[in-house]
Structure formats: C-alpha cells, structure tokens
Amino acid sequence: MAGSIVSIINKYAPRDKSNLIAILQDVQKKKGYITPEAVDKISSHLWISRSRIFGVASFYSQFKFTPPGRNSIKICLGTACHVQGGDFLLSALKSEIGISPNETTEDRRFDLERVACLGCCALAPVIMVNDTIFSNMSVVKLMELTDQYE
C-alpha cells in the first residue's frame, strides 16, 4: 500500500513545493482519500510539514480524509433544493444511514457529501447516488432509494 504512494510521489521532483496539490490529487485518485501515511510520505518528499499539508488539503472540499463508501451520496443544498426542503432530506438521510456529511458508514456502505448545486434546479430537490441523479425527492422516496444500494 505504501509502495503505491511512493511511486506516485516519486514522479514529482523532491522539495518542489508547487507539486503539493498535484500529488494530493493523484493520491486521492489512487486511494480514494488522503491517508495519514500519504501525508507523512509527501511531507518528507516535499519538505512541507504535515500540518501544512493537511491545512492545504482540508481547505479544498475535493480532498477526503476518510475512506470512501461503496456508494457515495451527494445531497444538494443549493438555493432551489434548499427552498424545496433539502434540509429535511438531509436530516432524514442522517438518521437513516447514521452519518453526517463528509463521513462514511462503518460498514463502508455509504459516504455522504453535501453539495451546492448539481445543475438541475428544475428537478429540485435532487440527490445523486454514485452517478445517478434522483429528482423531486421526498423523505419516503429516500427511504426506498437507500435500500437499493448494497
């Protein structure tokens, strides 16, 4: 496991701090999230402190620090979805799968993320599971939806 991180890192010049985000992106692509070991390895390669790397990575919402679930749920809380009751969906989802946004269920079945817009406001409120968009959602529909994914 550590070997693959090293092979990613070694593609980039050592001590060149400008490579940080590119490396983080590659690690995320490979591992699905940024592991503490990866931060350690990047730190000694680029000579940036671990805290600083974490600071940079946690600034961008694209980087995750928990392992992704088998299915990823994105719940939209943009203006239209918010007006249509996206908040209710979120709290229902929270109690249904038992996690808050940016977390993964213990059995790795779901991870949850809140997004600002999915680009189909006319269908609000919407939820995206993996690559599929579910429109005009309601709490009841939501309950049925989660059962379909394992």
Residues that bind another protein (CB under 8 A): 36, 39, 47-55, 58-61, 65
CA distance 8 to 4: 6
Burial class (CB in 10 A: 0-12, 13-18, 19+), 25: middle
C-beta of 30 vs 50, nearer to another protein:
50
Torsion over CA: 73, 79, 84, 88 (sign): positive
Minimum CB separation from another protein for residue 14, in Å? 12
Q: Which of 94, 102, 103, 84 is nearest to 146 (CA)?
A: 94
Minimum CB separation from another protein for residue 20, in Å? 13
Minimum CB separation from another protein for residue 7, in Å? 21
Tokens 């996206």, residue? Answer: 86
C-beta of 63 vs 134, nearer to another protein:
63
CA distance 3 to 8: 9
C-beta of 8 vs 48, nearer to another protein:
48
Minimum CB separation from another protein for residue 93, in Å? 21
C-beta of 50 vs 141, nearer to another protein:
50
